Amino acid sequence: MVCANRDCPFYELHAENGPFSVADIQCIITDAVQQVTFHESEVLFQWGQPSSRLYALTSGMVKIGYHSCDGREQIVGLSSPGNLLVGLQSINDEHYAYSATAITEVRACKINHSILLARVQDRGDLAIRLIDAVNAQLAHSRALMQVLGHTSAAAKVASFILLMTPKSQHGNCWFSLPFSRMEIANLLGMSEETVCRIMADMKRRGVVYSPRGHIEIRNHDRLQAIAAGATSRRHHS
């Protein structure tokens, strides 16, 4: 199967006859893959459902979470192209341990668990790619833990913005951030009021501009300084 998703860990990295174009890239697990599309707010899978698929995102963003006993949604992870395989945490489990929902329209490759694992037993190169995907998952989890580990509420928000900045963007930039203030607050373990106050303060100081669904970083150095804790201590969650 020809595939232009360079962010998927299973696209063919090397061509036998030298340089190749996007059109030449082949998926190395063709028999395990189906290309799918999800609309905004559509569920990829729910907690407790049989765990049978992974998703490698081509475009869009997915939130990973669960609902607490009182019905509140707790976001515990995020996924975008080049970030991680959605569903990887449950690859060896019978049921998904969390839910995954499209935040924006999502295009993805749906990968069959059992076929993938069967292929891994016979192909060392495929096993290495799966290990790389696991390492990417761990790196993402560590980065999110670092964000949540800040004692300053302002540092948490600033670190979250930096974490969500696409890798292709550098310095001052503009990108999509399809989260409400409430969703950011839930993810960071803060009140919505505190998130709103911090975002308004950073806007007044010319650090970021945050219209609905987007973020413009106007002073990247200052944003990094806030993330590092070089800011006022008056903000509390």
Q: What is the pLDDT of residues 170-182, one digit of tens each?
A: 789 998 888 889 8
List the alpha helices (DSSP H) in the chain: 113-120, 124-148, 153-164, 181-188, 192-204, 220-227
| Average pLDDT score, the chain | 80
* pLDDT given for residue 7 in this prediction: 65
Q: Which two tokens stand for residue 116?
A: 């993938």
* pLDDT given for residue 233 in this prediction: 42
* pLDDT given for residue 237 in this prediction: 43
pLDDT band at residue 118 using 50, 70 and 90 as cut-offs = confident
pTM above 0.75, yes or no: no
**Ramachandran angles phi, psi of 204, nearest 5°:** -60, -35
The alpha carbons of the chain give a radius of gyration, in whole angstroms, of 19
Weakest-pLDDT range from 10-19, 91-100, 191-200, 226-235: 10-19
Q: Which two tokens stand for residue 173?
A: 């930039």
* pLDDT given for residue 129 in this prediction: 79
How far CA 164 is from CA of 14, 149, 157, in Å, comes to 30, 16, 11
Alpha carbons within 13 A on the beta-carbon side of 90 = 22
Complete domains list, the chain, with CATH? 22-147 (2.60.120.10), 150-227 (1.10.10.10)
Indicate if the pLDDT at residue 201 is higher than 70: yes
pLDDT band at residue 216 using 50, 70 and 90 as cut-offs = very high
Q: Using CB atoms within 10 A of its CB, is residue 109 exposed (0-12), middle (13-18) or buried (19+)?
A: buried
Indicate if the pLDDT at residue 56 is higher than 70: yes
Q: Using CB atoms within 10 A of its CB, is residue 193 exposed (0-12), middle (13-18) or buried (19+)?
A: exposed
pLDDT band at residue 121 using 50, 70 and 90 as cut-offs = confident
Alpha-carbon span 95 to 236, nearest angstrom: 38
Which helix H or strand E contains 67, and what residues bound it?
strand 62-67
pLDDT band at residue 45 using 50, 70 and 90 as cut-offs = very high
The whole-angstrom distance between residue 151's C-alpha and the CA centroid of its chain comes to 23
Q: What is the pLDDT of residues 7-23, one digit of tens each?
A: 677 766 533 443 334 44
Q: Using CB atoms within 10 A of its CB, is residue 207 exposed (0-12), middle (13-18) or buried (19+)?
A: buried
Q: At what angle do helices 220-227 and 153-164 cross, to 10 degrees?
A: 130
Indicate if the pLDDT at residue 106 is higher than 80: yes
% of the chain beyond a pLDDT of 90: 26
Name the residue with higher pLDDT: 189 or 10: 189
* pLDDT given for residue 234 in this prediction: 42
Residue range 221-237: average pLDDT?
70
Alpha-carbon span 216 to 229, nearest angstrom: 21
